[in-house]
Structure 1
Amino acid sequence: MDPSHDLAVAPAVRAVYGPQDLSSAPAFAGGFINFGHWAGIPLDRPLTAEDRVRSQRDLYRLVFGALDGADTRAVEVGCGLGVGAALALEEFGFAAVTGLDIHPEQLARARRTNAGLLARAPERLGFAHGAAERMPFEDGRFDRLYSVEAAQHFRDLPAFAREAARVLRPGGRLAVTSFFLPAGAEDAGGELAARLESFASGLDVAHPLASLLDALGGAGLTGVRAESIGDQVWPGLDRFLAGVELPVQWPRNFLPAYRDGLLDYYVVTADRPPAGA
């Protein structure tokens, strides 16, 4: 039985990445659908759409730099439009990338967005329907696994961690970047829901960082490490949003939530031990 069949998709996820098409929103110029890594982008002037696209590309670049993925086979969990996967191939020399997404409409958009690359190099880029907690791949298929700002949507972090460990080959490496509740704010889910509609609606899940780190270690991955990059994400994002006509204002509450210690942004890395280790 194909494990990608009958996947349960949270209603808010289905709507936001389906008919609402978050990738088309001005706040996510370029279609990368992440909050961006703003280091090196001057924030003392009006920010442009080009700055926004650069910030999103730079978040992917940060992740790829942590993976050392040249000439490796990788899977992106929560690939969206697949533009990050294309960046991995074209700029970082990955041998092949498979984009995995739970939303069929996103996969259709990814195939349209990357039609040229798919036609030129079908052996290097592919897309698959599946969930982070239930990946439709054989054991040890990939050298690298990464996920950029999708883990806040995952419903079961231990299941994701087990699947990540399973589909990575021995000696493989993982990198995840997203926003989590920092130490000391593990019970801040209610406060986040009061401030941020994405948590109130169920689009985002208030995962404590420790729950991801514990899950990765529990799945047998080693060298689990988290680096906070909130100071390079939230101020730049908010500065950009201040200059965009937003249909709602609650996204401006991410920066205060970070400053109040309720939320932070992290790059998390881990390794599958080599065979025999």
Structure 2
Amino acid sequence: MTQRSGATQHPIPPAVQEAYGPADLSSLSLFGGGFINFGHWQGIDLDRPLTEHDRISSQQAMYRHVLDTLAPTGGLRALEVGCGLGVGAAVAIKAHGFAHVTGMDIHPQQLERAARANADLLDRRPAQLCLAHGAAEEMPFADGEFDLLYSVEAAQHFRDLGAFARETARVLRPGGRAVVASFFVPGADAAGAGQLAGMLDTFASGLDVAHTIPSVVGSLERAGLAGVRVTSIGASVWPGWDRWLARTWEPGTWPRNFLRAFDEGILDYFTVTAERPLG
């Protein structure tokens, strides 16, 4: 059995270090509520002025959407890869009945914030939540330790999808299931990556990586995971995200280009599911 221990030695990409370091993205009204995702806006009326409550609800809804794809979840052990402040892990425990959730993040400062934000869950006996320092490409867990694995809007930061896929397959038990939700290039055209760097500062700076859906699927399958399924949820993400951005960003500014990239077919938001075979 492979067992990795201790803090990860995997380097934090400089742009990720800066974005999730002292600045704390979750403190910005752009996100709010401790979450850091673009939101799942289905069911929220976008034709009226949006509120902070709408924004937080959209981010909670993203977690619920992702976790619903893993059902049944009751009584199972899960790993969240890229847990941030751990508020999504708290949603998983309180609303989806997990027996235990481990939140893993590569950024120590995020884990410090997560410990403060989730003191109630961490202090319970037995604890329902624990936090771990680790990278998606180098997870500090034993083989087959988890029933389920999920990751919400973190995979766009991963530098090595193949290593992430192999680690996912390793830490899941036989029959275990995984879901990854993030934004990717829909097709295999490498030109899309260059277009995104020209449109969106997060891709130009290296914070986000323009992974293609074929590379995501291929990495999971080569790692031995089966039943890989890809579902676009962009229609429930990008219009609402752009509507929220319109409160502070003018048309033509780079953050508004997320919707433009979606409309032009060079970026979309997906859930990708897979499972570790029983055999």
Shorter-chain TM-score tier = over 0.9
- For 1:186 and 1:231, locate their aligned partners in 2 and report how far apart those are by CA, in whole Å: 23
- For 2:89 and 2:253, locate their aligned partners in 1 and report how far apart those are by CA, in whole Å: 31
The AA in structure 1 aligned to 2:277 is P
| Percent identity for Structure 1 against Structure 2 | 60
More off after superposition, 18-27 vs 93-102 = 18-27
How far did residue 249 of structure 1 move?
3.6
- Segments of 5+ residues of structure 2 without an aligned counterpart are none
The AA in structure 1 aligned to 2:155 is A
- In structure 2, the CA distance between the partners of 1:236 and 1:135, relative to structure 1 (3 Å rule), is same
Asked if structure 1 preserves the Cα contact closer than 8 Å seen for 2:5 and 2:141, the reply is no
The AA in structure 1 aligned to 2:63 is Y
- In structure 2, the CA distance between the partners of 1:17 and 1:121, relative to structure 1 (3 Å rule), is farther
Counterpart of 1:27 in 2: which secondary structure? Answer: coil
How far did residue 117 of structure 1 move?
1.7
How far did residue 58 of structure 1 move?
0.5
What is the match of residue 221 of structure 2?
217
More off after superposition, 237-246 vs 107-116 = 237-246
Equivalent residues in 2 for 1:67-86 (5 A)? 67-68=70-71, 69-86=73-90
The AA in structure 2 aligned to 1:94 is F
With the length of structure 2 as denominator, give the TM-score of the two structures.
0.95
Asked if structure 1 preserves the Cα contact closer than 8 Å seen for 2:25 and 2:31, the reply is yes
* Alignment partner of 1:174 is 2:194: no
* Alignment partner of 1:22 is 2:16: no
* Alignment partner of 1:242 is 2:227: no
What is the match of residue 61 of structure 1?
64
- Segments of 5+ residues of structure 1 without an aligned counterpart are none
What is the match of residue 108 of structure 2?
104
Asked if structure 1 preserves the Cα contact closer than 8 Å seen for 2:8 and 2:135, the reply is no
How far did residue 124 of structure 1 move?
1.2
- For 1:103 and 1:21, locate their aligned partners in 2 and report how far apart those are by CA, in whole Å: 11
* Alignment partner of 1:265 is 2:255: no
With the length of structure 1 as denominator, give the TM-score of the two structures.
0.96
The AA in structure 1 aligned to 2:240 is G
Q: CA RMSD in A?
A: 1.5
- For 2:254 and 2:75, locate their aligned partners in 1 and report how far apart those are by CA, in whole Å: 42
Counterpart of 1:26 in 2: which secondary structure? Answer: coil
- How far does the alpha carbon of each residue in 1:95-129 deviate from its partner, in whole angstroms, 9 at most, with x for none? 00000000000000000000122112452100000
- For 1:135 and 1:41, locate their aligned partners in 2 and report how far apart those are by CA, in whole Å: 36
What is the match of residue 199 of structure 1?
203
> Which residue among 44, 47, 52 is the counterpart of 1:44?
47
Asked if structure 2 preserves the Cα contact closer than 8 Å seen for 1:181 and 1:209, the reply is yes
For this pair of structures, how many residues does the alignment match? 274
